[in-house]
Structure formats: C-alpha cells, structure tokens
Chain A
C-alpha cells in the first residue's frame, strides 16, 4: 500500500538490526528512574485494589472493546490489548476498563527554565516516541496571565471524549479507544486534513514530506500506539502512552518532567501519580480548582490543569522565554526532510 520510497526493504531492516543503535545517555538514566516510578505506582495501585476488592469486576471491558482497536493495535509486545500486562498473573489483572487521564499541575511547571534546558516533557516524548522534527506532541505554550506575567502550559493532545477530529474523519482513521485515548491509524489515513482543521488545540501534525526519524524506527512494527515508521502524507499526534500505562509505566512526558508536574492515572480507579506521590484523582481535581482547556467547546478533554505559573518551584511569572526543543538524533532515515509548522517563511 505504501510507495517504494516510504517502505523499507528487508535488507535495509537487517542492515540496521546489525547496528544496535546506542541509547542516548539521558534516556538510559531515565530508564532507571522509570523503573523506580513504575514500581512505586504499581505497589500503590495494588494496595488500593486489594482494599477495594474489585477483582470481581472482570470481563466488563471485553465486549466494549471494538473490533477496530483489536484489529489495528496488532498486539503491542509489552502490553497485549485488554490485559493489564504490568500485573499479569496475580489475580487482579481484571480486564476492567481503564479510563486514562492526565493532570498537569501548572504550579509546578516552570517551562524547565530552572534547569536551563528545553522543556523536558517534550524532550522525553521526542526521545521515547521518536517524534519527527518539527512535531512536538506535547508542546509547552506560554500564556499571558492577569497581572502581566506568563505561565507555561504543556499541551499534549487533550484526548477529547467528544473529539471533533474523530467526528470529521471520512475513513475512520482516527477513533476514540474505550480507554479514552484518541488514536490514528496511519495506514488508513488518506491525508485529507479535515481533522487538523477540526482540532481546536493545534494538536495534530502532518507528515508533509518524508518525516525525519532515527534509523531505529525502520526496525519497528507499526502500530497506532507507537507511530513509527511513519509514512508521508498522514496525520500524527500524541497517543497518551496507553501502552506504557497498561505496562505499568508513566508516559514519557511525565517521566521526563524534573518537577513532577504531570500526573497520570485512571479515572475508573480514581488514582493518579506523578512518579513521586499517588493522589486520589477526584479529590485532587476538585480541591485544586482543576480546569480544562477551552472547556466551553465541550470537547471533554481527558487532560486537566491545575492553575498556576510555576510558583511552587520558585518561578518568577515575569521571566519570559524558554529554550528551544532539540531533536536528539544525528543520523536520520534517508531522504527525510524537516519543515516548519507555521509555513515556509517562518
């Protein structure tokens, strides 16, 4: 289905397989941190599950999962669909339906200015998902706040529960999964870009040319939760890392955040964690005046924000600007091109 320039021959794949690409140092360090986070999160969840004794609420999700998802998900290696791989074989792997959600605590987000680095959530996402330049699936925007200062707002795809992008897609290439994330099937998308016009959060990206990516993407088996290798002429966006969550890990952005501003969790279980502490989601939201971006549009995002401008980590609201995001790989797939998101002249 894909043209010659965009698919990779077996030979090419083998060539890259031999090479075993080195992992960036940052990523390795994060790997350790990630294991630690995972362990903590898993433990806390296990405790709660035992207390609540919800193991019986099984088999609920199975009939709800539509054929579409099982068809395209293609059994991710570390997290088979509909199964809690992170806690498999311990009796609590209930097949209950997760409802993933994210809370971003803006009181703790300083746009990574204190670290002197570009936003580490974006950086983590790029490194984990091998996001092609110039896409920032989670992008840190600088909003003005009353009083003259600014706040930093990291914006991933809002995983709308009433997603305008899904409504307009003519071929069902983008759809809402029962767990909440909105995914894109890049092997079905026809590149009409209706969904880009429809998304009110500027969170959909298009591969205008052959997307720049590191050669290791060539090895991968494509699935919508890991959007590589990417063909040209399709839309791409944040996947909410549901495969990571099912495997008991935090999304790359949450792992990357040095201030632990990003919480990720399950509305169903009413728990979320930023890798440091575990909170009860409902009371955490209601007690901290959580809001959602453009709530008036009624897109019902799964991403919540707690108002703030980095004050909890000592940011001065009047300091502006942040460092630019960098793409880590030096070696790219052959023929890849970068572009600017805002038009050729910018």
Chain B
C-alpha cells in the first residue's frame, strides 16, 4: 500500500463525506417512484388488515387445528433477520475486525427496522387487538409470550441506542455540512439529535465507553431474544417442537438469515448510492465466509435433529418425519435444505462463483430458505394431529399474503426513508479506520514499524484482529 501524507487523508475524508451525505441532499425521480410503489403495497396490506379487523380472523386460512400461520412465520422470520445488525456488528466490534467498519451502520439499521416490523406481526395475529392493554393489566410471568414481549422491547431499545450512539458524530457532521442545503426540519433534526457533539476528546472518550458497554450488553440480549422466540414453540407439548435444541437452532438460523439480509441490502445501497469505494468485493466475500460458516452450523444442527429423530421414529415423530421428507411439506423442506443451506454454502466455497453476484445470489436463497424453515416449523408443528383426525390443511388466504407483502414493503419503505435522513455509512469510523491504516503504512515506510508485517490491507484478511495503533 502506498504510504500517504496528511493531505491525502484529508482528501479521502472529503470524498467520503460527499459520497455518504449525497443521498441526504439530492433525490432522484426513481426514488419517488420506488417510494410510491412501496406505499401502494403497504396500503394494500393495510386494507387487508382492515378487512381482517372488520370480519375477524375468519378471513385468514387459520383454523382451530392449524391456529398459527403466516403471521407467526413472519414474526419469527423478521425477528430472525433483526439479528443481522446488532449481533453481527457487535461480534465484529468485539473481535475488532477492521473490515466491518463500513458495514455496521447498515446492519444496525436492518436490526431496528426488522424488529419493528416483526413485533407488529403477533399484534396482527391477535384475535382481540382491542384488548392489548390486558397484557399490561394482567400479564403473567409464566407465559412465554410475556418473555417475548420483554425480550423484544429490551432488544429494540438496546438496538436503537446501539444504532444511535455511533450516529452522533455523523449527525453532527450533517449538521455542520448540510445546514444550507437541507430543509429546516432536517436541520433541526440534526441539531437536536447530535446533542452538541463537537468532537472534543472528552466527548470521544465517553462515546467509546458507551459504545463498548452497549455492544457488550447487546450480545446476550440478542441471543436471549431468539431463544425465547423459540420457546413459544418449545414450551408446548407438540412433538415436533418438543426439542431442547430449539433455542440454539433458532439463534443460529437468525444470524444466518441476518447475514444474508445484510448482504442483499448492502448490494442494493452500494449500487444505488455508488459506494463502491467503501464497500468492496472483499466485504461481500468476508460476509460470504460468515454465511458459509453458518450454513455449515445449520446443516450440522439439522443433521443432529433429523438423524436422531429419523433413526428412532418414535411416537408422533414418525408422521412428522415422513411429512417433511416425503409428505406434503416435502417441497418446502427440501427447498430449505438444498436451496437454503447446501447451495449457498457451495456457491461460496467454490472459488469461481465466489464473487459479489455469487454471494448475493446465495443470500437470496438463504433468506427464502429460512423463511420456508420458519413456515414448516410453525405450520408443520401444528399440522401433526394431536387426536385421531385427518391432518388439517393450511394455505394462506389473500389477506395473509397481502399482509405479508405489506410487511416486506414496509420493511423496504422504512429503509428507503431512513437512508434519506441518516448517513448509511459511519463516516467518522471509516475515516478514522482509513487514517489508522495510512499511518501504519506511512510509519512502516519510514521504518518505524520495521519488522512487523503490515503490507496487506486488513480487509483482505477476514476475521483478523486489527492491530493496536499509536496515534500520530
């Protein structure tokens, strides 16, 4: 790497700020079209929900025997992808992986948005949404649903904080740089939210302390969230759900689909806002490696589950097993197994498909596969008859599909709106990271760090701890 002087660093910073702040000031025609389209879909979903409110849950395809369906599937799925951000960025922060820097902000966005959308789903699923207050008036600690509410609200609060803290310097930047070009409400927004940040050493020190605390807190919270989500199912006496491994399974699946979602969102934003300089192919490949790693973990978990139950075929387990492998759920199950785990892992492991496109394609498969897994866990678990009756059938009604479309559109819509208000790449962290790199390179060139191996850009070495660096 070229050793560069302070002038070059300043130039880099300038360019970076321009690039990242550009979406906040200028908006193209395509953007409005996109927002309009998303709004239309969300509106359609809202209409479907209105129909459901008017007619009752009879407009869905759920009935007594399969009493949870698409909504609970989506709940688990969205809460799953919310593990994208916090867990990934926190883990990467803890392990000091330098290449994470431009990715973390997006990951944290996804967390907050997915959590908000996911938490709506059980409300939509409720038979009596007008009695929501009963959860507070009569809430019982013994119910897994209450654990969920507690865990999810904690996680949501935590991730909003965790998103917000590293945002402060960037908001201050937007306040300083954009005061002439943006609307007055935005100016006020930046001024208030940047809480008087001027970048003094003291401020920086406290920010770093707060961020470190949050990232240490958020990891156990994130793990607990998907564990208790799994316990909604795991605490019942249904044979397919009666599985002590469920918590670990859900958490691994959550991170897995979370990484895939980051990759997809990252690829889209990178294309649209020309962030190629900061989000490099290496980022995709590193995330791809993580994805492949989790694919292997998932395959292993599935092996554990299905080899042990399939070998014994005890009790009702037999019927469930046959249902999944050859019965009515077989298409979903095999798509999940082959398309959702084996194929993505192969795409990433084989060198000549390991490109941006490859990783993105793998991620799309992972997300679809994980959605299907959630579906067959929920529906398959309930479909297994508990008494001698013909297994019930379930295929979501138009209302459920519309609400699902609305939920996905809402997810995209919030992201689309947020990228217009908040910088999607952490400017100060990227700049600082760049400076550190350059300083090392320069000192190395001057022989200060002679004898240490620093020739490579750290982002080309995944999972490597970045070195402690002296400030100039």
Residues of A within 8 A of B (CB): 1-3, 141-144, 155, 164, 167-173, 188-194, 196-202, 204-210, 231-234, 297, 299, 337, 339-346
Q: Quick check: B235 and A234 within 8 Å, CB to CB?
A: no
Q: Quick check: B395 and A141 within 8 Å, CB to CB?
A: no
Q: Which of B161-169, B288-296, B383-391 lies at the binding interface?
A: B383-391
Beyond A232-B127, A340-B63, whether A168 also contacts B393 by CB under 8 A is no
Q: Quick check: B57 and A233 within 8 Å, CB to CB?
A: yes
Residue of B60, B67, B125, B135 with most chain A CB atoms under a 10 A cut-off: B67
The closest CB in chain B to the CB of A155 belongs to B387
Complex CA distance for A85 and B175, rounded to whole angstroms: 76
Complex CA distance for A208 and B65, rounded to whole angstroms: 12
Q: Quick check: B131 and A190 within 8 Å, CB to CB?
A: yes
Q: Does B300 contact A (CB under 8 A)?
A: no
Beyond A206-B64, A346-B392, whether A190 also contacts B58 by CB under 8 A is no
Residues 344-359 (chain B) with a chain A CB within 8 angstroms: none
Residues on the B chain within 8 Å of A206, using CB: 57, 63-64, 67, 127
Q: Quick check: B389 and A342 within 8 Å, CB to CB?
A: yes
Residues on the A chain within 8 Å of B135, using CB: 170-171, 190
Q: Quick check: A343 and B125 within 8 Å, CB to CB?
A: no
The closest CB in chain A to the CB of B239 belongs to A200
Residue of B126, B134, B389 with most chain A CB atoms under a 10 A cut-off: B134
Residues on the B chain within 8 Å of A210, using CB: 56
* 6 further contact pairs, Cβ within 8 A, besides A1-B130, A192-B126, A346-B392: A141-B388, A191-B127, A193-B67, A200-B386, A207-B56, A344-B397
Complex CA distance for A197 and B382, rounded to whole angstroms: 7
How many residues of chain B are within 8 Å of chain A by beta carbon? 52
The closest CB in chain A to the CB of B136 belongs to A171
Complex CA distance for A141 and B131, rounded to whole angstroms: 35
Complex CA distance for A155 and B127, rounded to whole angstroms: 26
Q: Quick check: B390 and A190 within 8 Å, CB to CB?
A: no
Q: Which of B63, B143, B232 contacts A341 (CB 8 A)?
A: B63
Q: Which of A144, A194, A204, A345 contacts B393 (CB 8 A)?
A: A345
Complex CA distance for A164 and B235, rounded to whole angstroms: 9
The closest CB in chain A to the CB of B148 belongs to A170
Please classify the interface of chain B as helix (H, G, I), strand (E, B), loop, or mixed, using the class held by over half of its residues: loop
Residues of B within 8 A of A (CB): 55-58, 60-68, 122, 125-128, 130-132, 134-135, 137-140, 142-146, 149, 232-233, 235-238, 381-382, 385-390, 392-395, 397
Residues on the A chain within 8 Å of B394, using CB: 343
Residues on the A chain within 8 Å of B62, using CB: 208
Residue of A171, A232, A297 with most chain B CB atoms under a 10 A cut-off: A171
Complex CA distance for A164 and B242, rounded to whole angstroms: 13
Beyond A188-B131, A189-B127, A344-B63, whether A198 also contacts B56 by CB under 8 A is no
Q: Quick check: B236 and A193 within 8 Å, CB to CB?
A: no
Q: Quick check: A208 and B134 within 8 Å, CB to CB?
A: no
B19 shortest CB reach to chain A, Å: 47
Q: What 4 A-B pairs have minimum CB-CB distances, sorted nearest first?
A: A191-B127, A233-B127, A209-B58, A342-B392
Q: Quick check: A197 and B68 within 8 Å, CB to CB?
A: yes
Q: Quick check: A170 and B130 within 8 Å, CB to CB?
A: no
Q: Which of A164, A189, A193 contacts B237 (CB 8 A)?
A: A164
Q: Quick check: A168 and B128 within 8 Å, CB to CB?
A: no
Complex CA distance for A342 and B57, rounded to whole angstroms: 14
Q: Quick check: A194 and B232 within 8 Å, CB to CB?
A: yes
Q: Quick check: A193 and B386 within 8 Å, CB to CB?
A: no
Complex CA distance for A188 and B132, rounded to whole angstroms: 10
Q: Quick check: B132 and A341 within 8 Å, CB to CB?
A: no
Complex CA distance for A324 and B464, rounded to whole angstroms: 69
Residues on the B chain within 8 Å of A199, using CB: 386
Residue of B56, B140, B146, B389 with most chain A CB atoms under a 10 A cut-off: B56
Complex CA distance for A210 and B57, rounded to whole angstroms: 10
Residues on the A chain within 8 Å of B60, using CB: 208
Beyond A189-B127, A190-B128, whether A202 also contacts B389 by CB under 8 A is yes
The closest CB in chain A to the CB of B54 belongs to A5
Q: Quick check: A190 and B127 within 8 Å, CB to CB?
A: yes
Q: Quick check: A234 and B127 within 8 Å, CB to CB?
A: yes
Residues on the A chain within 8 Å of B132, using CB: 190
Complex CA distance for A226 and B134, rounded to whole angstroms: 22
